[in-house]
């Protein structure tokens, strides 16, 4: 494990699910056959992260105990998948994709805009604890590049101004509208769909 996961200055001494999250965790575990409960590792780590804001060593040990696993089995999962944060992050974690398609569409400008608006660099958190800025590899929405991931939402088709407005809205406590910031529908061409432009059914009997 990396040193950031064992730093006693930031690691809590204990962790436990809230009653609500414990019920969620138990429901997840119940989906798997007896003896296959290790399959619930990722969902339980996700629940822990949503509760705590990150995945602490105490949370990993707690999940390991729930699933009757050696702790190292949980550490292996948590340290492999970048979706799990192994140190505290801000309330709003801005993860900007800088992989090739996003880079070609201006992700460097998006990163720089975030730096200026937040006053922090990549991997850093604002003094008020509200924002953390990170760069990530492919988010899988290449057709709508550049893309930024915040919470459970993607913000797509970004430019300098739209990235700035998203940050300003978050600072005001608002929830910016996710998805394409240019009004693009799904992954249609920028100018709109060029085929299947009507919902009229070609089958006998009328509309689809």
The beta-strand segments (E) located in the chain are 92-97, 124-125, 131-136, 148-150, 153-156, 179-180
Band (203; pLDDT cuts 50, 70, 90): low
How far is it, in rounded angstroms, from Cα 40 to Cα 66?
10
How far is it, in rounded angstroms, from Cα 56 to Cα 49?
8
How far is it, in rounded angstroms, from Cα 90 to Cα 111?
17
Q: Are 60 and 11 in contact (CB under 8 A)?
A: no
Q: Are 102 and 142 in contact (CB under 8 A)?
A: yes
User: Given this model, what pLDDT does residue 4 score?
Assistant: 39
Flag whether pLDDT at 3 surpasses 50: no
Band (197; pLDDT cuts 50, 70, 90): confident
Task: State the chain's maximal CA–CA distance in angstroms.
Answer: 70
29-57 average pLDDT score: 95
- Whether the model clears a pTM of 0.85, i.e. scores above it, the answer is no
**Angle at the Cα of 199 (from 198 to 203), degrees rounded to 5?**
110
* Cβ-count burial 92-118 (b if 16+ within 10 Å, e if not): bbbbbbbbebbeebbbeebbebbeebb
How far is it, in rounded angstroms, from Cα 34 to Cα 78?
23
pLDDT per position as a tens digit, 184-195: 888 777 777 777
DSSP-based three-state secondary structure for 3 = helix
User: Given this model, what pLDDT does residue 185 score?
Assistant: 81
User: Given this model, what pLDDT does residue 205 score?
Assistant: 60
Structural domains of the chain sorted by starting position, each given as residue range(s) with its CATH number in brackets: 3-80 (1.10.10.1590), 92-180 (3.40.30.10)
Mean pLDDT, the chain, rounded, equals 90
pLDDT per position as a tens digit, 169-187: 999 999 999 999 998 888 7
Report the DSSP beta bridge partners of residue 94.
133, 150
């Amino acid at each position: 494990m990396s040193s950031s996961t064992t730093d006693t200055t930031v690691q809590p001494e204990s962790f436990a699910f809230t009653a609500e999250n414990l019920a969620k965790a138990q429901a997840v575990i119940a989906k798997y056959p007896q003896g296959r409960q290790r399959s619930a590792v990722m969902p339980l780590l996700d629940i822990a992260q949503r509760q705590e804001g990150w995945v602490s060593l105490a949370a990993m040990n707690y999940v390991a105990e729930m699933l009757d696993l050696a702790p190292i089995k949980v550490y292996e999962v948590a340290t492999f998948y970048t979706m799990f944060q192994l140190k505290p992050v801000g309330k709003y974690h801005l993860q900007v994709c800088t992989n090739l398609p996003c880079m070609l569409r201006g992700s460097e400008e998006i990163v720089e805009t975030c730096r200026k608006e937040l006053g922090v660099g990549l991997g850093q958190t604002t003094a008020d604890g509200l924002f953390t800025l990170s760069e990530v590899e492919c988010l899988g929405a290449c057709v709508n590049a550049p893309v930024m991931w915040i919470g459970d939402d993607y913000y797509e088709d970004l430019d300098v101004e739209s990235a700035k407005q998203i940050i300003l809205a978050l600072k005001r406590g608002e929830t910016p509208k996710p998805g394409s910031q240019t009004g693009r529908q799904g992954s249609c061409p920028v100018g709109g769909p060029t085929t299947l432009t009507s919902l009229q059914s070609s089958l006998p009997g009328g509309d689809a």
